[in-house]
Structure formats: structure tokens, C-alpha cells
Chains A and B, each alone.
Chain A
Amino acid sequence: MNSPAVNSLEVNRLAYAYPDGTQALFGVDLTIRRGERVALLGPNGAGKTTLVMHLNGILTAGHGSVSVAGTPVRKDTLKEIRQRVGLVFQDPDDQLFMPTVRDDVAFGPANSGVSGAELERTVKGALERVGMLEVIDRPPHHLSFGQRRRVAVATVLAMEPEILVLDEPSSNLDPAARRELAEVLRSLDVTVLMVTHDLPYALELCERSLILSDGVIVADGSTRELLADTELLARHRLELPYGFAIPAPAEHG
């Protein structure tokens, strides 16, 4: 076990029931070390989104705890937590709410007090990292879906988060946009937690995967091994797409 200081994210025995009584999480335990790219796999309704909402304190733990780089998620630490956890929502139209790309990327850092030339530098830097600098002055609804998703990633990168949490990053993307986003994600030097049921995408980007099913983590291991275990996948309503075979490991060294 690593010391807590190098863990980007620690979730201990997290349980949560919605106000109507529906229990969504039944004691989730997970640890993500700094610099790791981890996929959180699970079928629809497994509690993935509920778990994600706990990571930056939109929902607060019914039982158990969440901490980000050693800071517990609590009411009094919310401001700090939200700066450290960059959440990228599934629909970029929800994420990009400002009139121009520039204003949208600036929103987070401006809220934490960055302004003037430094703000401009931060915005350009974040857009450059996702290869979207040329659309800086465009309104978000003039961009293609893939471009919008990359700008959505930039909006949280601008906050220099400890961990980037992506909710279904590959949904609605055409194959080219999917590959471009993968290239962007691979080029980033931040901790990434990718929530998805797109198994090939998880294999492509993440060494390690967790399977969340019925509100608990049921498997934690190398993505390649988990995906090779068809029985495990079937038990938790996960499936590789038709005709997909796990490529031989590390061909390209």
C-alpha cells in the first residue's frame, strides 16, 4: 500500500440511498494512485453516476468517506475539492454553458480568483492541451460533437485538477472523434477515472479497471485480465462488442 499522500482518490465503505429510499451504493471501496488511468466499468444502473456525484461533493456520503489527495470531501472543503476533481459530464451541452469557448474555459479558474493575463494564459494552455485552440472565440453550439467534448475536457483541465473524472467519454462520438479524444486523454499527465461501459475504450486507455455492479466494487485488476474473463463480465451484464477480440499484449512495445 502506498502512503495516502500519493493517492489521488480514496473511497472507503461509501454507501448512499436516494431520498426516496432507493439504495444505490452499498459500501464502495476504491483507491486510485496519482498518475493512474483507471476505468470504472459497470452496466446501466450499477450506480456509476451516483458514485461520480460523490467524488466532488454534489452528493454527500450517507455512510463512509471520500477523500481527494488526502482532503476529505465535506461541506467545509467543497470549494477545494471541486477545484481538485474535474468532472466531465456526459452531454457537453450541459458542460458548456457560457456564450463562447473562451468564457467557458475561463469559468472555473475565474471562480477561484484567477484574472487578467494569467487567466488568458490558463485558458489558452488548457485549449492547447486538447488541440482546440483555434475555436477559442466560437460559440459552443457551432462546434461538432467531438469538438465540444474536447472543449469540455479543457474546461476542467483549466482548473488544474488532481484527478479528471469522465462520465461516458466515448458516447455519441464517431470513430475518428473517439480516436482523437483517446489521443488527447493519453497525452495528459493527470490522474484519470473514466466511467464507461465501452469496454474496448477502457482497454485502449486504462491499464487498470474496476467493475461496479449493484452498488459494490466486484472486481479490481488489470483491464486485459478482467475483459478476458467472459464469465465475470456476463455475471455483471458487461459484454465485449461482437467480433471484438482482445489484441495480443504490448505488440508496439
Chain B
Amino acid sequence: MGLGIETRHRIARRAALEIKDGMTVNLGIGIPTLVADYIAKDLHIMLHTENGILGMGGSPAEGEEDGNLSNAGGYPVTIQPGASYFDSATAFGIIRKGLLDVTILGALEVSEKGDIANWIVPGKRVPGMGGAIDLAQKAKKVIILMNHTDKFGNPKIVKNCSLPLTVREGAHMIITEKAVFHCENGQLFLREIMNPYTIEEVIHTTGAAVIVDEKVSVFQ
């Protein structure tokens, strides 16, 4: 079950607030890709792609696409002033050396300690990890955007992940259609809920121990 388009955009809009002036950022495929639309225009951000661009811009106008200029998902993009092209080893050297300030990824499960599972459902869906392990282990801040529950209504934020891990204790933040969680020192903090959900509803559909802040704000 996917989220409605409005909900996906709200999650992306919230995630964009985590991107500050001067940051180097990698956006994953899916809802994370939408975040680019909500980054404040006056910020100077360098978007990084695994296929070898630093300084990626937005989508080109129709008819202006360049067959040899795409994002990691294969879709046409443009570049910004100061952009550079490089091979895959350099693209991942940038990641591995810890030069990404933020990476925004999707996930299948996240544990209360910040363990992330996002690349394999054994026996069912085996796409491979791509660059997810490199990104989740090495970016300075890892933000997970995902549905709060799976298609059966089961929590995706859990005490322990049941799926093979992408990284141990890698997530710093989880943003769902219901709430924003911070993973700090192996614990999960609830400081923000998304309109129109309630704290009780969020806790009821979260499969992990949550510490609720004294003051929980509401994101519209």
C-alpha cells in the first residue's frame, strides 16, 4: 500500500527542513527524491548522486533532456553551477569518507536503536543493496522516510528488525505520515506528530519503546 500523493509530499516537505545551507546531500529513490522540491531556494546545497554527479539540479524542461545526464534512478536531470562529474569509485569515496552531511532513504523496518533494514525480503524481494549500505553507514545524518505501518497495518518501527540489516544503529531520524522520531543513544524520541494524528495513535501503531517529549509539536 502506498501513501497518497499529498502525504508523500508532506513527509518530503518535513524532511527538507533538515537540509541546511552549505550541506552535501544524497537523496534516495521514492519519497526522498521529492525532498529536492522543498529545499529552500536561497540555500546553497550540493546534491550528490551515486552515478557520479555532485551539484545535481532539477528536472530539465521537456525536450531539453540530455541522454547522458541522469540521476541514479536513470531519470533526466540538470546540473547547478559548480557541479562535477566523476566515476563510481569517486562517487562512493565521497560517501565512504563521510563527506555527506545528510542522506535521506526509504526503509522496510527501523528498530528503536536505529537499525535499518531496507534492501531485502528473503525469498520474496531480493533487489540487492545497491548503495544503501554505504550511504546508511557513512553519511553524517541518516533520515528515513517511510510509511508508519506496512500494508497489513503492522508497525515498521520495531523493537528489533526481523529483516537482514542494512546498518546497525545508523538512523538518526524517522519521518512517517504520522510522526517524526529522533534516534539518540539507542532510544527513540517523539517530538513531533503530523496533522491530524494524535500521540496515542502514533504510539499505538509503533512497535518500539518511545519516549514522548514534554512538548510535542504538530507539523501541518
Chain A partners chain B: no
